[in-house]
Amino acid sequence: MLFNTYEPWKFAFSAESSNLDEIDLDVEFDKSNVWGIIGVPFDSTCSYHHGSRYGPTIIREASFGFEQYNVAFDKILDARFYDFGDLNIVHGNCKKTSDLLKESVNELIDSKIKPIIIGGEHSVSIGPIKALAERSDSKDLSDITIIHLDAHRDIIDEYMGEKDSHATIMHRVYDLNPKQLIQIGIRSFSDEEKLFVEDKDNILTFLAKDLNSAGEENNAYYELIETLSNIEGKVYVSIDMDVIDPVYAPSVGNPTFGGLSPDDVEIIFETLYNSSIEDKIDVLGFDIVEVASNELGDSTAILAAKFVHDFLTLFA
């Protein structure tokens, strides 16, 4: 067990032991392919549809519908990974919850284990990202590329007077000076956010409307794959499930039509995987957030569980 966590369930195929004292990894953190899951059942700043606090539970439940063999990638999920349960969050206090999560992620890193965070609302992403930033020599994200899949930019500085919110998460990330922020699937943002990103050389945006025109000559889809293929160094991946069109994933905090398909995410994963096996990139962390439903068997939870399964199949 990690400090500040409890165990309501485990993701399918996770290793039996989740006691850090029993885990002995003779590897460096940045060379490790051992992952640890932490659920964060927090949704106190959601502005539309609440329920993402149930995400960690129903995603784990949905994971038991999968086989270890992953048909999409013709690989077996037989690597060692752990599920450390859910964070003891502080409802109504985004900053305190993020600080507690950062402490728990630091415990994972101390044990040479990389974090997978299952939310919860998108604000929880700042915990693991801060932990990684503080471990770098520069104490920021200047050597880490953030890959952000979302319907929304989430890069407004304040939302309804709050600096810490699901709507401000990428501004808080940008405050940590990322090497590059790549936003994929965007289709909803404010004038303020539009103006903020326009003069930023280290923010790249791939709008959903452009990506959905795949097949046309010189369209953005191929530019995206080329961009991801050319990344070098450390990488963190954050997926807000509303990046997926609500036809496939309706139970999210802020559903928006015109989104990506599940196949698009598989292609993105495979592109990053190909770079990782060539030692061009090192994926340090992953989160998946904003599944907002308390219904077991929910289609959005099943898809989120599939993305976690896919990620572990490729990167564990």
Query: What is the secondary structure of 6-71 as a DSSP string?
Result: E-S---TT--S---GGG----S-GGG---EEEEEE---TT-SS---GGGHHHHHHHHHTTS-SEET
pLDDT score recorded for residue 39? 96
User: How does DSSP assign 227-246, residue by residue?
Assistant: HHHT--EEEEEEEEGGGB-T
Question: 48: which 2 tokens?
Answer: 């539309």
**What is the spatial distance between Cα 217 and Cα 167, in angstroms, rounded to a whole number?**
34
Compute the distance between CA of residue 3 and CA of residue 89 in angstroms, rounded to an integer: 12
Global pTM reads: 0.94
Q: How many domains does the chain have?
A: 1
d(CA 102, CA 159): 23
pLDDT of 32: 78
**pLDDT at residue 6, rounded to an integer:** 56
Residue 189: CA count within 13 A, CB half-sphere = 28
CATH number for the domain harbouring residue 216: 3.40.800.10
Residues of the chain with confidence (pLDDT) below 70: 1-8, 17-19, 45-49, 159-162, 165, 214-218
Range(s) of the domain holding residue 86: 5-315
pLDDT value at residue 1: 47
